[in-house]
């Protein structure tokens, strides 16, 4: 049998991130593939991301990307990894919740149920403490409008409503009340992490270029550096592939006023 030459860094990273019960052992059945992918995902790409984003942030971004590209087995592994590097259960839950307005309930409900099973298997008592900050529809609208204007500039909501085609104003109102009013307003993780996570979800989905530009702009407005954005894109590269990663990097370069050569 061919010897699997996983680097020391990759081996240590895998053993540190994942509990033994979550690992999918491909060493025996696909040793060549294991060597290539594990060295790339757990050594080569991490070397380029080291120091630009905290490990917790990096792992949170990868978890978000598994939802965006509908990778349920990898999602299970990265919930485990998040817990192992100190990401709090409420933070993991907020990543999953953040995916609802972008990926949609029909897909994300499966991840919510799986997350809760993993929590219970790790002795985490459910339900977790609530993190919502709004109660009424009026509060949702007010807080959503505040967050949109704070993120994209004063007057953003008024402009969105003004340019919305007749009969489609309700979509803008849903963005205000449902997306930002219900989800972005929650406690548990801050706005910087919410926007970075959203960017990673959209990059992983593919075909969301307009929205990817919007949320890259939001990340920039929230003072997330270009170096941090590139590090996040590099971290999720092994899980979402080159085409979607290159698309994300092109958007980052454009929004941060640089051209990808």
Task: Answer whether residue 27 shows pLDDT above 70.
Answer: no
Measure the CA–CA gap between 13 and 9, rounded to whole angstroms: 6
How does the average pLDDT of the chain come out, rounded? 93
Cα separations in angstroms, 1 against 26, 32, 66, 130: 13, 10, 32, 52
Is pTM beyond 0.75? Reply is: yes
Measure the CA–CA gap between 50 and 80, rounded to whole angstroms: 21
- Residues 95-149: tens digit of each pLDDT: 999 999 999 999 999 999 999 999 999 999 999 999 999 999 999 999 999 999 9
- Residues 60-86: tens digit of each pLDDT: 999 999 999 999 999 999 999 999 999
What average pLDDT score do residues 212-225 get? 97
pLDDT of residue 30: 84
Residue ranges of alpha helices (H) inside 104-190 are 105-121, 137-152, 156-163, 169-174
The full set of domains in the chain, from first to last, is 51-127+192-255 (1.20.1290.10), 137-182 (no CATH)
Identify which of 24, 22, 75, 10 has the alpha carbon closest to the alpha carbon of residue 236.
75
pLDDT of residue 41: 95
Residue with tokens 């092109």: 250
């Amino acid at each position: 049998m061919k010897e699997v030459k996983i680097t020391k860094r990759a081996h240590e990273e895998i053993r540190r991130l994942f509990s033994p019960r979550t690992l999918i052992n491909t060493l025996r059945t696909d040793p060549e593939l294991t060597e290539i992918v594990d060295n790339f995902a757990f050594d080569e790409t991490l070397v380029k991301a080291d120091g630009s984003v905290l490990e917790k942030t990096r792992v949170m971004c990868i978890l978000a990307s598994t939802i965006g590209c509908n990778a349920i087995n990898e999602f299970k592994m990265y919930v485990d990894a998040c817990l192992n590097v100190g990401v709090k259960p409420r933070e993991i839950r907020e990543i999953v919740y953040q995916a609802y307005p972008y990926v949609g309930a029909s897909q994300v409900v499966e991840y919510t149920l799986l997350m809760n099973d993993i929590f219970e298997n790790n002795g985490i008592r459910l339900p977790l403490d609530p993190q919502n900050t709004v109660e009424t529809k009026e509060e949702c609208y007010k807080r959503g409008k505040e967050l949109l204007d704070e993120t994209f500039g004063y007057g953003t909501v008024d402009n969105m409503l003004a340019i919305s085609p007749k009969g489609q104003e309700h979509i803008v109102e849903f963005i205000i009340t449902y997306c930002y009013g219900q989800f972005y307003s929650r406690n548990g993780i801050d706005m910087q992490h919410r926007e970075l996570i959203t960017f990673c979800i959209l990059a992983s989905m593919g075909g969301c270029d307009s929205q990817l530009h919007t949320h890259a702009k939001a990340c920039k407005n929230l003072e997330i550096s270009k170096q941090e954005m590139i590090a996040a894109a590099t971290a999720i590269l092994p899980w979402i592939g080159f085409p979607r990663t290159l698309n994300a990097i092109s958007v980052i370069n454009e929004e941060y006023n640089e051209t990808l050569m």
